[in-house]
Amino acid sequence: MAETVAIPGSSGKAKIRSPWGVFVLAIVTLGIYYLYWYYQANRELRDYGFGTSPTTSLLALFPGGIIIVPPFVTFWTFFGRLRAAEDRAGLTGGADQWLGFVLYIVAFFFLPFELVYAQQHLNRLWSSGARASGAPTAG
């Protein structure tokens, strides 16, 4: 089960999810969980102050994937927002935008390994915020 933490500087909540659990759920649900995860990850980053519309990001992924270009743009910007959020939190060794993008390209043809990479960084971000604020967590 995912642990819920408060997003620093926001009234929103974020979930610390198992990176490999996210990967498996995306495969088992034939991509439905992938779309849910992408929306939630973008909502969490928006609540932290990075990005404006998780719905627009989701629409770029699907049905934007029919046009082919929008999913690549949205994942490039997603990893940029994730890196900027980690920088704001003062974390070193943040998400690499190029590595995340290359993993997305691999996922586009094979398996969604970029989910594991992104979720590891999101977990680190939300865990550091919960520790810094001393916010209570709920499982």
Q: What is the pLDDT along the chain (139 residues), one digit of tens a residue?
A: 678 998 888 888 999 999 999 999 999 999 999 999 999 999 999 999 998 999 999 999 899 888 989 999 999 999 999 999 999 999 998 999 999 999 998 887 889 999 999 999 999 999 987 666 554 444 4
Domain that holds residue 36: 3-133
Q: How far is CA 70 from the centre of its chain?
A: 17
User: What per-residue confidence (pLDDT) applies to 2?
Assistant: 76
* DSSP letter for each residue of 72-108: HHHHHHHHHHHHHHHHHTT-SS---HHHHHHHHHHHH
Q: Is residue 35 part of a domain?
A: yes
Quick one: DSSP state of residue 10?
Answer: S
Q: Is residue 17 part of a domain?
A: yes
User: What per-residue confidence (pLDDT) applies to 136?
Assistant: 47
User: What per-residue confidence (pLDDT) applies to 137?
Assistant: 47
Q: Is residue 88 part of a domain?
A: yes
User: What per-residue confidence (pLDDT) applies to 60?
Assistant: 93
Q: Is residue 139 part of a domain?
A: no
* Predicted TM-score of the model (pTM): 0.88
Q: Name which of 121, 119, 118, 115 is nearest 31 in CA terms.
A: 115
| Number of H-type helices and E-type strands within the chain | 6, 2
Structural domains in the chain (count): 1
User: What per-residue confidence (pLDDT) applies to 130?
Assistant: 60
Q: Is residue 138 part of a domain?
A: no
User: What per-residue confidence (pLDDT) applies to 12?
Assistant: 87
Q: Is residue 26 part of a domain?
A: yes
Q: How far is CA 118 from CA 45, 67, 86, 103, 138, in A?
A: 12, 24, 12, 10, 22
Q: Is residue 62 part of a domain?
A: yes
User: What per-residue confidence (pLDDT) applies to 77?
Assistant: 95
